Amino acid sequence: MIKDITIGQYIPGDSFVHKLDPRVKILISIIYIIDLFIVNSFKGYIFIVAFTFISILISKVKFGYIYKGLKPILILALITAALNIFMTSGVNPPLFKWKFITVYREGLILAAFMVLRLIFLIIGTSLLTLTTSPIELTDGIEKLLTPMKKIGVPAHELAMMMTIALRFIPTLMDETDKIMKAQMARGADFESGNLINRAKSLIPILVPLFISSFRRADELAMAMEARCYRGGDGRTRMKQLKLTNRDFVASISIIVLVVISVFSRIWWA
């Protein structure tokens, strides 16, 4: 389950999506997330599904890999659905009522919307990291934050921290998996018992995981200092970011999706 997490991983490729400017991909991802909350009907999600499906096909990322990344959020999706189903009241008579449990139609609809948004949110963010290398992601974030330098915002340092955080998600997941296997070889049990007991059994993993994280951070800092890293001042780049025709095509496609979503919200309100 831990190895199924795909956020932060990068798959090299030469697809249309891989060749997009990282700034464009970051902005498209942000607009895509906003668009998920603009749509308020199941019919409107048809366009979201179509756009996502086409994006995956163009990126040449295997659907099995996308599905693999969704497996870890299954429990979170179930908890989200349950909270919305049992804690949302409605104006119509309840569909189901037993003791203190009451289920309304509005709760089911809201739960379905929240689960859909969560699923497509994970797919969108995963597709960004799967098709963008850490260096490109850093350069893209830094370029987008450059105008904020005028008010004293350290654009390069923020971009570096955000990229390192994303990059180390798979590394920490792999480290967690190794620690769990080592403790299971010594007799630890992470599978049996109820949910609370299984959560308590994970506590001993936190100490070695934190120690490993601090050690990796210290090694990374020493490696950056050994290579004379001094921040973004005076830093040059081997590859300069330039917008191309494919970037304009991608930008127009996301604008069209937003326009369709806004009109669908009006038509199918």
Q: What is the pLDDT of residues 22-64, one digit of tens each?
A: 999 999 999 999 999 888 888 888 899 999 999 999 998 888 7
Reported confidence tier of residue 234, pLDDT bands at 50, 70, 90: low
pLDDT at 17 over 80: yes
- Do 131 and 17 contact (CB within 8 A), yes or no? yes
Of 14, 10, 5, nearest to 136 by C-alpha is 10
pLDDT at 162 over 90: no
Q: What is the pLDDT of residues 61-100, one digit of tens each?
A: 888 778 777 877 778 888 888 888 887 777 777 777 777 7
Q: What is the pLDDT of residues 248-260, one digit of tens each?
A: 999 999 999 999 9
pLDDT at 186 over 80: no
DSSP string, 67-114: HHHHGGGHHHHHHHHHHHHHH---SSPPSEEETTEEE-HHHHHHHHHH
Reported confidence tier of residue 8, pLDDT bands at 50, 70, 90: low
Its pTM surpasses 0.85 = no
Angle at 71 between CA 114 and CA 77, to 5 degrees: 20
